[in-house]
Structure 1
Amino acid sequence: MTSEVLEGRTASGRGVRVRYSAAGIEEVTDHPSAPDLLLIPGLVDLQLNGYGGLDVNDPSANELPALVRALWAQGVTTVYPTIISADDATTTTLVKTAAAARASDPVVRYGVPGLHLEGPYISSVEGARGAHDPAVIRDPDADEFDRWQAAADGAIAIMTVAPERTGAVNFTRHLAANGVLPSVGHSLATAADVHAFAAAGGRMSTHLGNGLPALIDRHHNPIWAQLTEDRLTAGLIADGHHLPGDTFAALVRAKGAERCVLTSDAAALAGCAPGDYQTAVGGEVTVTPDGGLRLTGTPYLAGSGASLLDCLRWATNHLPLDVAVTMATTTPAELLGLHDRGRLEPGARADLLQFARTADGGLGDLVTVVVDGRAVRKP
């Protein structure tokens, strides 16, 4: 098996030479005279609905193989495609399509360890539901979920639920007992609801600080309890639209960076030119000149227009580089039990990114992308 070498500096500034092959990272050695290129693990995105016009929520298409490959240019080597609230038949079709893509394409099977269902068991209250269709939002149904999991060939790995819905705590126990990561989101849960959710096996907050009405009680709202609940890891959309910079930084400080992950929440129109679009699932969506996505004619966000790489770049304006990189690589991988990804160490899978540096030492252009030991982008 032929070995290759990449050299650069880690996010903490250590000069290294990484020897790798299809078997994984074989050796990481100090290299004080390494070139001034940033060398980090591939990015791990736990929440993404699409990118560049490719949509995992379109039941008429099978765009997952193209999406996985398109994300390589954004440094994303592991992704959990996110299916939003829909009726039973549509959800079944979508998870079956994803399962078929994973079964038939080794690249998809590697790049997509699992799926994320964001709803339909969420709040139907305006604002809290976000861009989800109120007509399909409903209380949790374990039998329905089990049918979806069977249709997905066991691939559903994350489920976003609102803990205040009838039966949600028992449903959370059901998810956790069956190896699915329960995440609270699009919720108006009380503090008691949040703590009960965590005690039942809840482990994550879906886009903390979002999926809420514009006006909430300053003390009695779902944010504070999620920040103090150490059993929950906070997903944060660092696109510059979902969270202002100070809010983002304050959430990370309050939660602790070790309990935070960066997610993109990228929608199909992420990476597309500004303008008004008609989408298969969101209806009319406007891509604003600054890259935001909004339901046309409303103030409501329709997902993110940023890739996880875009989010990482933005986050480095508010966090040290090594902290932001860990939140986009190691921490999400560990949260999902992918102990051989998201790290630069022998034995890990060879998912590697090499970047040029900007004049001020920041994250420059993406130069090299290695996925599972194979270079898919070279200088």
Structure 2
Amino acid sequence: MILQGKHYRSGLPIQISCSEGIIDSISETQTSLEKDLIIGPGFTDIQINGYGGIDYNEIQSDPIKLAEISRLLYQEGVTTHFPTLITNDPAQISRLILQIVYLRKSDELSRMSIEGLHIEGPFISPIDGPRGAHPKEFVSAPDWSLVQKWQLESKGLIKMITLSPEWENANSFIEKCVEHGILVSIGHTNATHQQILDAVSAGARLSTHLGNGMHPIIARHPNYLWSQLAQDELGASIIADGFHLPAEVIEVFQKVKKDKLILVSDSVSLAGMAAGDYDLHIGGEVSLTPEGKLHLKSNPSILAGSASNIRRGVSFMIKNKLSSLSEAWEMASVRPQKLLNPGHILFEEGAIADLILCQMDENGELKVVKTIKHGQEVFSA
């Protein structure tokens, strides 16, 4: 396979040669390009609850139905994603894990796309506000034996856990996770400053959707937002959909977190769906606006999750002049891969050929033209 386009960082025309799923060479080319294509690494989204009307948090009558998520995400340039299971009955989480294991065993594209699982809860804050939409009856203290059971059931697929360090046994739990190669992220938290410091010392390395999953009103100081921003060891993921965070907040987060800031979609099942009113098993009656805002039907000021995707997050960053094309692209690709796979090479000779070709319209919207996964074309516009 030979691909040509402008390098997403340098803007220079390049040619990429791939064989057997690996990038053989990347070289500059003097050939005039037919289209104004930009080529770069595929996007990695470490927080996908669902997409296109399908939910990883629901038991399906046929688990193969979940395979549609990977295919829809390929259309948005997402070559790798982490199904995200939120707070639930532990036995139900086991069933959802086994469903994903079956999916990966039965569908090659899903197996290639799903490189890990993100468990978001149940070890979060039970407090209204920080808990968000997670069901309170299933919130519990960190339980390592439970995670061991889930990890066995997942065949080692759990790569990330979001928790709140306000629990008494949080630090020993974090240390166990780190010891077993699981990234620990702080989220949905009501932790004190000291508890956050201790969690970082124990090995926590990320903040989940920073600025969301919080009280509507917090003390000016101290508070858990300042505490997480102040820790250099903590990276942060953000939802850049124009609804979860104002542009100026993202600008501040960028100045503080720098190259440790990454994009996630945190998409729910209604992402990629038509505008209208829906009834969700988590969230109840909700409305999705033509602009992509998902809110409670009874209260437009309360968000009911994200209906966006990471490509739109990249476009939001560019259109609002929050970052350059190359930086926004890396926030959605290189940075999350390095976070979850230290030492992993991306978009260079010898790397797995996970690539996307895009075009930029006059409004700064990035459009995916072609997606390559493990050297295979999985989407073409």
TM-score w.r.t. structure 1 length? Answer: 0.94
Q: CA deviation at 1:276?
A: 1.9
Query: Which residue matches 2:353?
Result: 350
3-state SS of paired residue (1:345):
coil
Letter in 1 for 2:12: R
Q: Distance in 2 between matches of 1:210 and 1:273?
A: 25
Tell me: CA distance 1:255–1:338, structure 2 relative to 1, closer, same or farther (3 Å): closer
Q: Given residue 58 of structure 2, which amino acid in structure 1 is its aligned partner?
A: D
Cα offsets for 1:290-346 (capped at 9, x unmatched): 2112233244322211011111110112111111111111000010116546x3211
Q: Which residue of 2 aligns with 1:259?
A: 260
Q: Which residue of 1 aligns with 2:49?
A: 49
- Identity rate, percent: 36
> Contact conserved, 2:2 with 2:15, CA < 8 A, in 1?
no
Query: What corresponds to 2:291 in structure 1?
Result: 290
SS of aligned partner of 2:152: helix
What residue in structure 2 maps to residue 332 of structure 1? 336
**Residues 159 and 182 in structure 2, CA contact (< 8 A), matched pair in contact too:** yes
Check conservation: 1:52, 1:270, Cα contact below 8 A: yes
Q: How much has 1:33 moved relative to structure 2?
A: 5.3
1:228, distance to aligned residue in structure 2 (A): 2.0
TM-aligned CA distance change 1:246 to 1:252, over 3 Å: same
Report the counterpart of residue 150 of structure 1 in structure 2: 152
d(CA) in 1 for partners of 2:218, 2:106: 46
**Which residue matches 1:136?**
138
Show CA shifts across 1:26-45 (max 9, x none).
10001255533111110000
Task: Name the structure 1 match of 2:6.
Answer: 8
Deviates more, 1:279-288 or 1:155-164: 279-288
RMSD of Structure 2 on Structure 1 (CA): 1.7
| Aligned amino acid, residue 252 of structure 2 | A
Matched, 1:170 2:168: no
Answer whether contact 1:80 1:112 (CA < 8 A) is retained. yes
Task: Give the conservation status (yes or no) of the 8 Å contact 2:178–2:203.
Answer: yes
Counterpart of 2:27? 29
After superposition, give the CA deviation of every residue in 1:58-90 in whole Å (9 maximum; x if it has no partner): 023524322111110111000001001001111
- The 5 Å alignment of 1:94-109 reads 94-109=96-111
Residue 306 of structure 1 corresponds to 308
Segment drifting more, 281-290 vs 325-334: 281-290
5+ residue gaps, structure 2: none
Measure the CA separation in 1 of the matches of 2:273 and 2:22: 34
Gaps of 5+ in 1: none
Give the aligned residue type for 1:372.
Answer: H
Contact persistence 1:264–1:304 (CA under 8 A): yes
TM-score by length of 2: 0.93
**Equivalent of residue 319 in structure 1, options 292, 317, 323:** 323
Alignment map for 1:121-132 (pairs within 5 Å): 121-132=123-134
CA contact (8 A) 1:11 1:38 kept: no
What's the counterpart of residue 88 of structure 1? 90
Q: Secondary structure at the match of 1:70?
A: helix
One-letter amino acid of the counterpart of residue 350, structure 2: G
Contact 1:10 1:16 in 2 (8 A): no
